[in-house]
Amino acid sequence: SQQGEEDPQALSIQEGENATMNCSYKTSINNLQWYRQNSGRGLVHLILIRSNEREKHSGRLRVTLDTSKKSSSLLITASRAADTASYFCATDPREAGSYQLTFGKGTKLSVIP
Amino acid sequence: GAVVSQHPSWVICKSGTSVKIECRSLDFQATTMFWYRQFPKQSLMLMATSNEGSKATYEQGVEKDKFLINHASLTLSTLTVTSAHPEDSSFYICSAPKHRGTDTQYFGPGTRLTVL
């Protein structure tokens, strides 16, 4: 069943602006991951943040995690047209060795040149 | 980085036929692989966990006789959609963790199935 819920469902911004997407989940997690999917393609892993971490950076990406609120955010700074894609959060349950991911509904980001 | 491939990338078939989709880990061995399906503009739904050398574990609501999974080797899992119907049309994606104990999974590029 779906656990992660992203908002907004769709986001349209101008190139150069920052894009923020949020994800909420319901159960305890081992880690939370963000993925990107170009239309009709597979998923690309962007960043993973563990349950004991609060913030993580990777290039133009910044992810935060608030386990007390069961929420995470993904910030893409200085967006580019090539960032246009759907972004999904996925939660990895606390059970050891599970590896199963539960995906949110995704945010469709459109970056206008 | 690790690479997972899928074959075919797209397939069109007639209703009632069976379709086999392959998922291969190209540069690592995967004792576990996952199969997801994704309907247009929706998220990924886990269908089953494929385990090398043993039976697959199916998620609630997924018919195991409809979606046959075989994980015959450490680099190959296959998903066969039997007696396909138009409602089976979807995007099927597989994934695999590269190492036990790591959290990152690598996803295949997906297979677009269209049943006429």
Residues B75, B92 contacting (CB under 8 angstroms): no
Q: Is residue B84 helix, strand or coil?
A: coil
CA A70 to chain centre: 13
Residue A83 above 80 pLDDT? yes
Adjacency order of strands within the sheet including A19-24 = A5-7, A19-24, A71-76, A61-66, A55-58
- The Cα–Cα gap between A31 and A54 comes to 11
List per-residue pLDDT tens for chain B, 116 residues long: 668 999 999 999 999 999 999 999 998 888 899 999 998 888 899 999 998 888 999 999 999 999 999 998 999 999 999 999 999 999 999 999 876 555 678 899 999 999 99
List pLDDT tens digits, range A32-53: 999 999 988 889 999 999 999 9
| Closest residue by Cα to residue B32 from A16, A9, A100 | A100
The tally of CA atoms less than 13 A away on the side-chain side of residue B34 is 21
* Residue among B26, B31, B43 with most chain A CBs within 10 A, to mutate: B43
Q: Do A99 and B104 touch (CB under 8 A)?
A: no
Instruction: Pick the residue from chain B with its C-alpha nearest to A99.
Output: B103
Q: Do A106 and B43 touch (CB under 8 A)?
A: yes
Work out the minimum CA distance from B107 to partner chain A, whole angstroms.
6
